Each structure stands twice: as structure tokens, then as C-alpha cells.
Amino acid sequence: MEAKCVKYYSFGSPQDVLTVENRQIHQPSYGETLVRMITRPINPSDLIPIHGSYSHRISLPAIPGYEGVGVVEEVGPSVSGELIGKRVLPLRGEGTWQEYVRASAELVIPIPDTIDNFTAAQLYINPVTAWVICTEILRLQPGDILLVNACGSSVGRIFAQLSKIIGFELIAVGRNDNHTKDLLEFGASCVINTTNISLVNEVQELTNGRGVTAAIDSIGGSAGTELAFCLNPNGTFLSIGLLSGKPVDWKIISQKALVKIFHLRHWNQQVSVEKWHKTFEQLIDFLSEKRLKLTKPGTQYDLLNVKEAVLAAQAHENKSGKMFLNS
């Protein structure tokens, strides 16, 4: 059987290097499932590897995509046939920007009927990252104060909601007021627009000079480095992204804070299968209880129109909802 897939043979702009072609679909092997994909979101984390940022650990040609939801069509030897017909997240296997994905049966995440496809498809990268950071990496407690830049992003909105669930205080940082109303409703105690306010001075005033417990940087460069000056003497600086493409000043930061870097793939390598499933069960419970909401879907594109979809995702991230690729 042949099916469509998105592939790239060299690194560069997605507009230049992405192709849509047919590939041969093989039956699932021992311990595997074959999942017919329904939809998948377009995330910055999907696009960064295409540009070549992680070229040292990506073998070409490659199929992009880390998230998505689909239906189990076939199972390999040793896998229960009860999975056939179930909606699942086929994670940590092949790239999801294709019509069929093979994934390890022990790692697929079953999705209850109470969660729609577009919410389910986003349940991995940002929710798991935010939950693990808050509960395992930073171990935030009621009374702690967390500072997060680029907080209007999908993951930033999740941090705001987790502040209400866990009980810590969140100070959100952005470059405009576009997301202020939403972030406050989600749980942020305040939102700082750095275009007209000094971040360090404002944080010092908000914390009565104590500084924050921890700061999470998704930007890098001078914007990320500035977070270190907002920490209390025992504070933690955590890097989770590099949206600016520029590194922070690690020398300055290391003099002021305990420095940590979080990569979801490293957590994946260390976590047990049992803990993997329990993490998703907890997040699914939050969604079912309506204590957690993910980014609303925006425009939907067919897999064949992937270049148009990527262009739209880059231009409208979080303005008109998350862009999706449908099969």
C-alpha cells in the first residue's frame, strides 16, 4: 500500500525543501501499531529541525511532525487486537506528517471520546513540557513565583493555567498586550508588556524586591538574559527555547542563578512507560474537567497543501488559532 507523506531531503526554508510524495506502507512489526492519521498541528518545534538547527541528530531524508491523532488500523505480533479502531496519539515513532504512522504499541496514548481531535492532537509537546517542568524540574509549590517570557505562546498559556491548578504565582511577559486578557483569565497574576515597561524594575516592584523563584526563557538573546536579573538569590533560570536564534549570556546568568535546560526528548529517554502513561492520564483528566484548555484550531489544510499551511502558521501563530494538517 502507498500513502502520502511530507518529506525533506535537505535542510532549509520549509517553502524550499518540503515535498509531498508517496511512500510504501509496511505492516506493523512486533510490538507496533499502524495508525491512520486524522490531523496534526503545526508547531515551531516541527519547523525548527527543517531549518537545520538539529542537523547533527537528524538523518535525511526525514518526515517532520511530532504530534497528531489517528486511528489504529493494524497491530503487529504480540499487540492486542483491542487497539484496532481506537483513537490514539502515535508518539515517539515516525514523523506524523504522513497518512500512516507506525508507532510502538506500549507508547501510544488512547484518547477518550470526550476530547475532540484538535485538542487531542496538541496533547504532547506543550502540555507535557509545561507539566514536567512545573512538577518535576522546578517542583513549584504554592507561594512560589514563576516568570515566563513569550507567554502568549501555546506553552505560555499552559503555564498560566497550571499556576491556577498547582497554586504558584505566574508573572507573564510579552511584547504587546494582545494576550493580556486571556493570560489573566487563565491564571496569570499579572502581565508585563516589555515594550513600555522595564521588566526588572516591574518585577522588583511586584515582588517587593525579593525577585522570583524561577524564570523560564523561550527567546534567548538579551530578552532571555534579562530574566536572570529578576530572580531571587536562590532562583532558577530554565531555558526551553531559542526563538530569537541567539544564545543568552550564560556567563552572566550562571553568576546569578542555578541554570537548567529542558529538552523533552531527554525526559522521554529517562521516563518509564508507566510514568509516560500516568503523565498523559493526568493531563487528560485536566482537559476533561475543563481545568486545562489548549489552543483553539485555526485554518485546516490538506497534507498536499503543506507549504501553504506552514506559511500561514508562521504568519499567524496564536493570532487566529493553531494551524492543522488533515489527512
**Where do the domains of the chain lie?**
2-123+294-326, 125-265
For residue 192, pLDDT over 60 is answered with yes
Ordered DSSP codes for 61-124: SB---S--EEEEEEE-TTS-GGGTT-EEE--SSS-SSBSEEEEETTT-EE--TTS-HHHHTTSS
Output the CA–CA distances (angstroms, integers) from residue 291 to 161, 166, 194, 207, 248, in the order listed: 7, 11, 29, 27, 34
pLDDT band, very low/low/confident/very high, at 316 (cuts 50, 70, 90): low
- C-beta of residue 149 within 8 angstroms of C-beta of residue 239: no
For residue 72, pLDDT over 60 is answered with yes
For residue 26, pLDDT over 80 is answered with yes
Beta strands in 218-296 (DSSP E): 231-239, 258-261
Question: Quick one: pLDDT at residue 317?
Answer: 56
Q: Rounded to two decimals, what is the model's pTM?
A: 0.95
pLDDT by residue (tens digit) across 114-142?
999 999 999 999 999 999 999 999 999 99
- C-beta of residue 101 within 8 angstroms of C-beta of residue 5: no
pLDDT by residue (tens digit) across 277-307?
999 999 999 999 999 999 999 999 999 999 9
Question: Average model confidence (pLDDT) for the chain?
Answer: 95
pLDDT by residue (tens digit) across 87-121?
999 999 999 999 999 999 999 999 999 999 999 99
pLDDT band, very low/low/confident/very high, at 56 (cuts 50, 70, 90): confident
Question: Quick one: pLDDT at residue 319?
Answer: 63
What is the C-alpha to C-alpha distance for residues 126 and 17, in angstroms, rounded to an integer? 26
Backbone angles phi, psi at 299, to 5 degrees: -70, 145
Q: In the CATH hierarchy, which fold is given to the domain comprising 2-123+294-326?
A: Quinone Oxidoreductase; Chain A, domain 1 (3.90.180)
Strands 190-193 and 169-174 come out as parallel
Question: Quick one: pLDDT at residue 314?
Answer: 86
For residue 315, pLDDT over 90 is answered with no
Quote the CATH superfamily of domain 125-265: NAD(P)-binding Rossmann-like Domain (3.40.50.720)
